[in-house]
Amino acid sequence: MDVDWGWITDHLGALAERTGQHLYLAGIAVAIGFAISFLLAIAAIRRRVVYPPIAAVAGLVYTIPSLALFAALVSITGISIVTAEVPLILYTFVILIRNIVAGFDSVSPDVIEAADGMGYTRNQRLLRVELPLAIPLIVAGLRVASVSTIGLVTITGTLGDRFGGLGFFIFEGISRDFTTEMLFGAVPSILLALVIDLLFTRVQAAATPWTRRRAVLTPEGSEVPV
Amino acid sequence: MELRHVTKRYEAGAKGTPGAVNDLSLSVPAGKICVLVGPSGCGKTTTLKMVNRLIEPTSGDILIDGRAVLEEEVTTLRRRIGYVIQQTGLFPHLTIGDNVAVVPRLLGWPKERQRQRRDELLALVGLEPGAYRDRYPAQLSGGERQRVGVARALAADPPVMLMDEPFGAVDPIVRERLQNEFLRLQEELAKTILFVTHDIDEAIKMGDLVAVMQLGGMLAQFGPPDEILAHPASDFVARFVGADRALKRLSLNRVGELPLEPAVTVTPGDDTELARERVRSAPFPYLLVVDADRRPLGWLPADRIAAQGHIDPSLAISMSPLLDRETTLKDALSMMLDADVQTGIVVDRDGRVQGLLTVEAIGVALRPESNPAVLAPSAAAAAS
């Protein structure tokens, strides 16, 4: 297996452009997916009865094979960004909704009761107490959803040039039987997923300062890290 | 604070529900601590939570300062009631300083005033503001967290406080210290407090008034702790306060509350003639030798008073413990047993003799009949 380094150097500009497109397509999907998931999760938290049906539908959607869904949507919305984004968005639901609900569920009942007893209104409690405490699990959900969306975006490359990001190189490489171009799409998309994963790990640490610097005090008052 | 015929009913058979409350009436005078005590499931926490409406009563009225809590906007009500909960319920994502300033922030105080109040309160509960304000709850010990919980409840200077097992999650030594510190604080703050515990000793120690509750949310007895120990209204209360209730009363009463016997004294250099005359009128054959400032030097047995001459202080035997008016009867009795004597010498702050306390006097004081004020209700209860 020979890699054509000359071809690679010639296409670095295209690589940058495709990486940008990849992030754009994945970013829109995760952003919209998160917004919708958040609203559905809040609804599920406030009215527990709606959670099982929401979770069931999100789970069902997740089982539809992605290629089949793209193909089905082409007949409705044609070759458009909507066709590309709708499946990407739908696939984020199952991860995001479950994690957001789990995040809010992880807040200790003692803390909720203290918030009520202190005189927080319901919305104040949600925004200032429950949301910050749910962040670790919410960000964990975002992390998994982002990484899996980055993987899926390569498949939108089947819709054509304008979509697919790095997937474009993969599909073109396959059709031309040109290994260098296939790898030119595959390796950066894997790296992209790893970078995003790392980024979210950092974001989570920055957003939850109270989980760091954990130390217990001995009776004498000296700090012992645990 | 007044509770009038407050009742909370739950669906029968529902699992995990808090204890019900049945027709509970009691009032807490301003500036006093009323402790709700009883076995688990007796409805004491339910009662507490009905005051700040975390639980809505099925029927009855709760008044604070003459105003019905049910008619007030619920968040306004809660912000003017201090609330200390079991396991502290501190917000893990907020620093200690922000935890303390939660209610001032909700009330929209200016930032500078919030900061000032936060540091003032941390200092008040014995946590150095500079060392603690920027830490997170997970970095504190159990006892420190309990202090922060108390500081947070006091933040907006509420006249009324609800405390739900506030010292429950710490070891007995820390608990004892926190209790003492809180009682000292309360002397200055004079908050009206409803306090829940399952521990009868804590109830007796902390309460100006104690409400003993029994299963079914019924009030078994309501009164000052000494009255409950001396005259349990029912077998349930007697069992709940324990077989050692007489001993518990010892730690509740102080030397100064008992009538002291006068000390028959002599001063070194007094004429022995005078001494012999005095000892004849004394209740026992000893004279207490005191210095010119009436500080005790020791006992002089009648048979060692010289036939003539002057009192010689070197003959005085010092063996009685010195007590002050604040000494609990428990400590006083313990000191007397230790010294193997029947009498303690009660002195004032400057060490001057005030009188004598005998083991017999303690026994008399603990006899239920000795307190006619509380005799009547118990006699009525016994007759019924």
Please check whether residue A19 is in contact with residue A196, taking contact to mean a CB–CB distance below 8 angstroms. no
- pLDDT at A222 (0 to 100): 43
Tokens of B369: 């009949």
- Closest residue in A to B144 (Cα) is A217
Q: pLDDT digit string (tens) for B52-72?
A: 999 999 999 999 998 999 999
Question: In whole angstroms, how far apart are CA B9 and each of A21, B171, B186?
Answer: 62, 35, 34
Question: In this model, does residue B78 exceed pLDDT 90?
Answer: yes
Domains present along chain A, CATH in parentheses: 5-225 (1.10.3720.10)
Task: Say which residues have a Cβ less than 8 Å from residue B367's Cβ, sequence separation at least 6.
Answer: none
A202 to chain B, minimum CA–CA distance in Å? Answer: 17
- Asked whether residue B111 carries a pLDDT value surpassing 60, the answer given is yes
The average confidence (pLDDT) of chain A is 88
DSSP, collapsed to helix, strand or coil, labels residue A1 as coil
Residues composing chain B: 384
- pLDDT averaged over chain B? 88
Mode of pairing for the β-strands spanning B81-84 and B160-164: parallel
Most confident of A44-48, A129-133, B301-305: A129-133
Most confident of A160-169, A208-217, B230-239: B230-239
Kindly report whether the global pTM for this prediction surpasses the value 0.95. no
Give the pLDDT mean for A65-80.
87
In Å, how far is A72's CA from the nearest CA of chain B?
46
| Complex-level ipTM | 0.79
Which residue type sits at A113? Answer: E
In chain A, DSSP finds a helix count (H) and a strand count (E) of 10, 2
The answer on pLDDT for B31 being more than 90 is yes
Q: What is the mean pLDDT of residues B79-87?
A: 90
Distance CA B157, CA B165 (A): 20
Q: Report residue B365's pLDDT band, with 50, 70 and 90 as the boundaries.
A: confident
Q: Please name which of B328, B338, B178 lies closest in space to residue B249, comparing C-alpha atoms.
A: B328
Q: What is the pLDDT of residue B115?
A: 95
**Long-range Cβ contact pairs of B232-238 (< 8 A, separation 24 or more):** B233/B377, B233/B378, B233/B381, B234/B381, B236/B212, B237/B212
- Pairwise CA distance, residues B260 & B358, whole Å: 8
User: Is a pLDDT exceeding 70 seen at residue B380?
Assistant: no
Q: Which residue of A has its CA nearest to B128?
A: A221
Q: Does A219 touch chain B (CB under 8 A)?
A: yes
With an 8 Å Cβ cutoff, are A219 and B141 in contact? yes
Chain B neighbors of A214, CB-CB under 8 A: 138-139
Cα gap A158→A166, rounded to integer Å: 11
Q: Does the distance separating the beta carbons of B86 and A119 come in below 8 Å?
A: no
Query: Would the pLDDT of B376 be above 60?
Result: no
CB pair distance less than 8 Å for B83 and A209: no
Mean pLDDT of the B244-255 span: 85
**A133 contacts in chain B (CB < 8 Å):** 91-93
Question: Which residues sit opposite B356 in a β-bridge?
Answer: B261, B345
Residue whose pair of structure tokens reads 């697919």 in the numeric block: A164
AA letter at B355: G
pLDDT, tens only, B125-150: 999 999 999 999 999 998 999 999 99
A209 chain-B contacts, CB cut-off 8 A = 136
Report the percent of chain B where pLDDT is more than 90.
54
Q: Dihedral, CA atoms, A124, A128, B48, B33, nearest 10 degrees? A: -110
